[in-house]
Structure 1
Amino acid sequence: MQHRRKWLVRGASVLAGAAVLVAGVLPALPAAAANATFKAGSLNIYNGLTQAQFTQDLNLIAGKADLIGLNEVGNRKEFLQGWAADNGWWLYSPGSVNQAGEALIAKKSMFDVLDKGSIFICDTNGQGEVPPARYNNWVKYRHKASGRSVIHINAHAVAGIDNNGRPEDLPRTACAEKQFQELKNLATQKKDEGQVIVSGDLNVDFSADRAYGYGKFPWKVFEANELPNLRSSFNLYGEKGTGTHGNRHIDYIYFWKRLPDYQLMWMTGYDIVGGTNSDHNGIVAYFSIQL
């Protein structure tokens, strides 16, 4: 009997040690009873879709998230204005087609708008050249259930800038590198005003970027550094499905991850949203925010 007791104690110790190890690896989560939840989404809706296809994709992502960053939608601005008014969503889609393309929407039932802005970054191939200019758009919301400020930043980097994580030596690559750094700068600035979320089609594959580690691409600029800093769903919870664009994971949702004693908002998981008409899948991340 005594030998059996020792075995049970030893077994319990091993299990406890394993639990501590797992807890150290996974992101620290809040106590559920003291928090409210919401979902943040991102979808690049290809601008060549028909109106019916576009509407299907918009309704698909809107049915799965409460706060959404859209890309490539500048030519649908007028439609989005009517859709948002009819369906109870805030819309921020400033300026003409290029600037308006990185639109942000949020449910009026869950958020109030406190502030908003748009920052010109660069002309991708030179002034007036195609592809067009890039902007980082943002909205500061009050999350009604918690009373906390949530700043959502949305962007779309130009395509054709990386080759398996390696940068292409093109003018557009320099523009994208500047945009990534400006996204980081804006997130760093806004973190003092509230909880920060960054979304968008960044056109750099997560796994290839992490493996190669080019210093001016998203992995190094946003994630490969100590806290506090930006962390993506792919970093925290791994890559799911075949990708967000073909077999590449290029559409991101990040949040500003602080040291544990100062963290008031947590990303608790995410899903890839398939079934779109667009050439991109959507992504939806789950958040818990302290009351």
Structure 2
Amino acid sequence: MARRRRWSARGAAVLVSAIAMVTGLLPAAPAAAANAVFQAATLNIYNGLSRADFESDLQLITSKADLVGLNEVGERKAYLQDWAAANGWWYYAPEPTSAAQEALLAKKSMFDVVDKGSVFVCDTNGPGEVPPARYNNWVKYRHKASGRNVIHINAHLNASIENNGQPEDLPRTRCAEEQIQNIKDLAVTMKDDGQVIVSGDLNIDFSADRAYGYEKFPWKVFEANSLPNLRSVYNLYGEKGTGTHTSGRHIDYVYFWKRVPEHQVMWMTDYSIVGGTKSNHNGVVATFGIEM
């Protein structure tokens, strides 16, 4: 009996050792306790809203995120400057008004501003004409808890540039193609100096773009390529809800620069669509974990 107990104990020890060995060979998941979490959002607040409805949408999206990219808000610059100063947010919206349409906000309690800039891309019909000139704006922040740089690029592409994923043969479409490539170029330039996030209303439906696969639209430029490259909330976690626009299309995006696993220090872990807006767009809020 004693001999049987000794063999039983020896077998248990061998089993524990084997389990430990196999466990040691498995890839380690990021330790949740070692990651800081923040939310990044995008919302196109329709420029024809009343002051009260604009304020309602602003309060809604900023209550759910720590970094926010806004579209169509150039005419609200003075109000946004005062609001940001009074509520503890950084605010960047450069001149001229066409550039200020794509504003960036960040909580001062979570981020410091390191650098910022704006890139003029194109002006389809000339100064003061519709659609307005297009700019890609960006801010480089230092995430206080981790000490890492986070670069937020915010953009808004021209409307009416695609039909079920197929590009319309228009000057405004060619302008959008330039803007898409410039977003990619900015991300590539900045990726070595921080973790890149891109937000904005791209006016191209995710599913239609992926199905048609036009080579100069976001799916092919950003997402169909091997890593490292940009990846959107829809690519990683599917299309939720009934769209981000009243048309039912998913046209508002949050991306991040996804690296090969051994070099990834920031992860997009999920996202949600924020309804209840006064605008003709819903918001998109993505959750990120960043390594401490």
Same fold (TM over 0.5): yes
- Does structure 2 retain, via aligned residues, the 8 Å contact 1:44–1:72? yes
Q: Which amino acid letter does the alignment assign opposite residue 273 of structure 1?
A: V
Tell me the equivalent position of 2:176. Answer: 176
C-alpha deviation, 1:96, in angstroms: 2.5
Give 1:250-265 correspondences, 5 Å limit.
250-265=251-266
Q: Secondary structure at the match of 1:33?
A: helix
Specify whether residues 59 and 29 from structure 1 end up closer, same or farther in structure 2 by C-alpha distance, changes over 3 A only.
farther
Tell me the equivalent position of 1:14. Answer: none
Moved more, 166-175 or 128-137: 128-137
Q: Which amino acid letter does the alignment assign opposite residue 281 of structure 1?
A: N
- Does structure 2 retain, via aligned residues, the 8 Å contact 1:124–1:158? no
C-alpha deviation, 1:127, in angstroms: 4.8
1:44 maps onto 2:44 in alignment: yes
Determine the C-alpha separation between the residues in 1 that align with 2:252 and 2:118.
20
TM-score between both structures, scaled by the size of structure 2 = 0.89
Q: Which consecutive unaligned segments of at least 5 residues does structure 2 have?
A: 1-25
Give 1:1-291 correspondences, 5 Å limit.
30-246=30-246, 247-291=248-292
Residues 133-187 of structure 1: CA deviation (Å, up to 9, x unaligned): 0000000000001000000000000100000000000000000000000000000
Determine the C-alpha separation between the residues in 2 that align with 1:84 and 1:126.
32
Determine the C-alpha separation between the residues in 2 that align with 1:126 and 1:95.
17
Q: Secondary structure at the match of 2:278?
A: coil
C-alpha deviation, 1:91, in angstroms: 0.0
Q: Secondary structure at the match of 1:191?
A: helix
Q: Secondary structure at the match of 2:53?
A: helix
Determine the C-alpha separation between the residues in 2 that align with 1:255 and 1:41.
12
Specify whether residues 128 and 52 from structure 1 end up closer, same or farther in structure 2 by C-alpha distance, changes over 3 A only.
closer
Determine the C-alpha separation between the residues in 1 that align with 2:74 and 2:242.
28
Determine the C-alpha separation between the residues in 2 that align with 1:125 and 1:68.
29
- Does structure 2 retain, via aligned residues, the 8 Å contact 1:30–1:266? no
Determine the C-alpha separation between the residues in 2 that align with 1:259 and 1:43.
29
Residues 104-149 of structure 1: CA deviation (Å, up to 9, x unaligned): 0000000000000000000023454311100000000000010000
Q: Secondary structure at the match of 2:152?
A: strand
Residues 48-91 of structure 1: CA deviation (Å, up to 9, x unaligned): 00101000000000000000000000000000000000000000
- Does structure 2 retain, via aligned residues, the 8 Å contact 1:30–1:288? no
TM-score between both structures, scaled by the size of structure 1 = 0.90
C-alpha deviation, 1:33, in angstroms: 1.2
Tell me the equivalent position of 1:5. Answer: none
Q: Which amino acid letter does the alignment assign opposite residue 274 of structure 1?
A: G
Counting aligned pairs with the same residue, the percent is: 73
Determine the C-alpha separation between the residues in 1 that align with 2:115 and 2:49.
31
Q: Secondary structure at the match of 2:220?
A: helix
Q: Which amino acid letter does the alignment assign opposite residue 140 of structure 1?
A: K
Determine the C-alpha separation between the residues in 1 that align with 2:81 and 2:132.
23
Q: Secondary structure at the match of 1:192?
A: helix
C-alpha deviation, 1:287, in angstroms: 0.1
- Does structure 2 retain, via aligned residues, the 8 Å contact 1:29–1:266? no
C-alpha deviation, 1:97, in angstroms: 1.6
Instruction: Count matched residues.
Output: 266
Q: Which amino acid letter does the alignment assign opposite residue 33 of structure 1?
A: A
